[in-house]
Structure formats: structure tokens, C-alpha cells
Amino acid sequence: MMITPAAPSLAGSIAAKMKPPSRFGDKAFEWLTLAMALAVVGLVFLVGWQLARGSSLAIQRFGFHFLTTSTWDPVAEQFGALPFIYGTVVSSLLALIIAVPLSIATAVYLTELAPVWIRQPLVSLIEMLAAIPSVILGLWGIFVMIPWLRDHPFPFLKKLFGWTPFFSGPIYGVSMLAGGIIIAIMILPIVTSVSREILRSVPNLQREAAYALGATRWEVTRIAVLSYAKKGLFGAVILGLGRALGETMAVTMVIGNTPQIAASLFAPGYTLASVIANEFTEATTDMYLQALFEIGLVLFGITILANLVAQLLLKTMTTKMTSRVAQ
């Protein structure tokens, strides 16, 4: 008699006395994962800070001349990075000239033209090419590609275009052109697969509309797909440029490692990444090491810039896609 009405109030008082469930685990886990996610921001700052700190004396001493002079003399402690900047830019541009048409044509083939059964195997093969380490491509470059280039295509190019400054002079094999070719092979897979993603995200309505007007396959690709995906494809190219600028091992093994600025593509060159790879452990004086850190800083700067531009282009492309789809 007394228990029945008392029971609810008893339960209520127990509930009131009970502590609310602890949120400590939840908070701790969220903060822990946040800290780990922020590691990417920390890493960017770590890289910038380390490179700037390691090169502060060289920056003070050489200033802007570091980027515009071409004497690289560790003994006299005179350091100018121009030949390396030139080598990096020229070899990367050569790589883009070779790789971009091939990559985009392959991406078009994979998304628009190829029979469906052949697409997946081809994509897997391209992924395998991407998995080959740079040093192994360099090994192949030294012992297979360089002798072949020296004996067959280079003399042929010289005979055809020897009257221009670009294909004149002695042929050693190791050269700016060989460096460009090996970088092209390195960036083919990434430019192809990013371009393919871009082309795949073009809405099918685009294609159907063009087909309905009586366009041929190529006309559909050109009018409806490529022009629509222009910006994204440009992003893919810049992403490839970013990779090309920082490519190290393979290019170090075939470019000849000579700090000079020569018009001929048959002449050996040197890149920012290669000079770090080759000379870092030999840097005997502080200023020499500082100069190499500054080279690293320059390389980091230009690759970050290329990647920022590429990601922004790719991002606007994907947001455009999703908003179109939403409509």
C-alpha cells in the first residue's frame, strides 16, 4: 500500500542521484583524432621551418643572387642555383610535352573509345607502372634507355634538326632530353589516372546531347567532353608538373649531373633535386650545406605552388560537377 505510490518517486530520486554518463571518452577520442588530423598542417610548417632554418645563413649571404647567378663552386664558397633551376624547369617541360598528349589521349581512350572489357586491365597496368620505384626506372634508364637513345633516336634527331641549336653538339647519351623522357615515364600514370577521373565525372547528359545532334564519337569527345573538362584536365597537367619538378632518383641517374645552361638538349644538365641527392653527404663546409638547404627550400616552394594551383583547379572542377548533378 505504501510501496506502490512510493516506487515512482524512489526511481525518480535514484535517477536524479545518478551521475550523467561520462563524456570523457568521447571528448578524449575526438581531441586525439583532431590532433592527428592537424598533423598534416604541422608537417607543412615543419618542412618550411626546417628548410628556412637550415638555409638562413645562405639566404643572408647570397640574397636574390642565389637564384640568378650560375657559379657553383663549393671550394670558393660561391653558390648560384640558376643552372639547377634551369635544368629542373627544362626537364620538367620536356616531360610535360611528351607525357601530356599521351596521357590525355589514353584517358580519352579509356573513358570514351575503348571496348568495355579492355578498360579495367589497362587501368591495372597503368597502376602497375605507377608502382615501379623511381630508382628502378633509373637503373633501366642507365643500362637500357641511354645506350639505345645514343645509338638510334639521337643521331636521327641530329640529322633532321641538327641545324637548330636544340639538337646540335656532341651526343653523350646522358642528357637533358634523356632526363625529360624518364620524367615523362614517371608522370604518365598520375596524369592519365587523374585525367581519367575528370573525364569520368563529365555527366552523360553532355554526351547524349551531342550524340542526339548526330555527332561522331570524336566530335562528342571534343565538343561535349574535352571542352567541358578543360579546367580539370589543366589541373591534372599541373599536378603532373608538380611531380615532375620534384622527381629525383631516375632523373639523377640519366641527366648527366653537369651544372651548365646549354641550349642543346643533347647536353647534360642538372636539377634542383639531383644536386641535393648527389652532393648533400659531400657537403663539407657549413655554407655548402646551407646552400643545399636553400636549394631544398626553392624546390619545396615551387612544388607547393604547383600543387596548390593543381588542387584548386581540380577542386573547382569537382564542385562544378556535383552542383550540376544536383540540378
Ranges within 148-187 binding another protein (CB under 8 A): 185
The residue among 244 and 264 lying less far from another protein, judged by its C-beta, is 244
Q: Closer to another protein by CB, 264 or 300: give it.
A: 300
- CA-closest candidate to residue 203, choices 318, 102, 103: 318
Q: What is the DSSP string of 232-247?
A: HHHHHHHHHHHHHHH-
Q: What are phi and psi of 283, to 5 degrees?
A: -65, 105
Decide whether 207 or 264 has the Cβ nearer to another protein.
207
What is the C-alpha to C-alpha distance for residues 141 and 138, in angstroms, rounded to an integer?
Answer: 5
Stretch that binds another protein, among 62-70, 224-232, 258-266, 297-305 (CB under 8 A): 297-305
Which of 26, 73, 151, 208: binder of another protein (CB under 8 A)? 26
Minimum distance of another protein from residue 313's CB (angstroms): 12
User: Chain centroid to CA 55: how far?
Assistant: 24
Binding mask 124-153 for another protein (x = CB under 8 A): xxxxxx-xxxxxxxxxx-xxx---------
Give the nearer residue to another protein in terms of CB position, either 267 or 299: 299
51 binds another protein (CB under 8 A): yes
Tell me, residue by residue from 249 to 268, as one string, x for binding to another protein by CB under 8 A and - for no binding: x---x---------------
Measured CA to CA, the distance from residue 90 to residue 177 in angstroms comes to 9
Give the contact letters, 66-95, x = binds to another protein (CB under 8 A), - = no. Answer: ------------------------------
Q: Does residue 110 belong to the site contacting another protein (CB under 8 A)?
A: yes
| Nearest approach, Cβ of residue 300 and another protein (Å) | 5
Question: Contact with another protein (CB under 8 A): which of 292, 313, 317, 321?
Answer: 292
Using the contact rule CB under 8 A, the part of the chain among 5-13, 68-76, 194-202, 245-253 near another protein is 245-253
Query: Is 91 in contact with 255 (CB distance < 8 Å)?
Result: yes
> Under 8 Å CB-to-CB from 6, ≥6 apart: which residues?
none
Task: State the DSSP code for 168.
Answer: -
Q: Give the number of other CB atoms < 10 A from CB of residue 189.
A: 22
Q: Tally Cβ neighbours within 10 Å of residue 244.
A: 28
Binding mask 31-50 for another protein (x = CB under 8 A): -xxx-xxxxxx-xx-xx--x
DSSP class of residue 281? G
Strand partners, 148: none
Q: 272-279 and 230-246 are packed helices; what angle lies between their axes, rounded to 10 degrees?
A: 20
Beta carbon of residue 71, minimum distance to another protein (angstroms, whole number): 22
Within residues 189-208, the interface with another protein by CB under 8 A covers 189, 192
**Is residue 269 at the binding interface for another protein, with CB under 8 A as the rule?**
no
Enter the C-alpha cell of residue 215. Answer: 555527332
> What are the beta bridge partners of residue 73?
78
- How distant, in Å, are the alpha carbons of 101, 160, 226 from that of 28? 51, 69, 49
Three-class SS state of 79? strand
**Count of chain residues binding another protein (CB under 8 A):** 90
- Distance, in Å, from the CA atom of 137 to the CA atom of 116, rounded to the nearest integer, reads 31
Q: Which stretch binds another protein (CB under 8 A): 68-76, 201-209, 229-237, 293-301?
A: 293-301
Stretch that binds another protein, among 63-71, 154-162, 188-196, 200-208 (CB under 8 A): 188-196
Among 59, 93, 223, 304, binds another protein (CB under 8 A): 304
Nearer to another protein, 10 or 28 (CB): 28
Which of helix, strand or coil describes residue 72?
strand
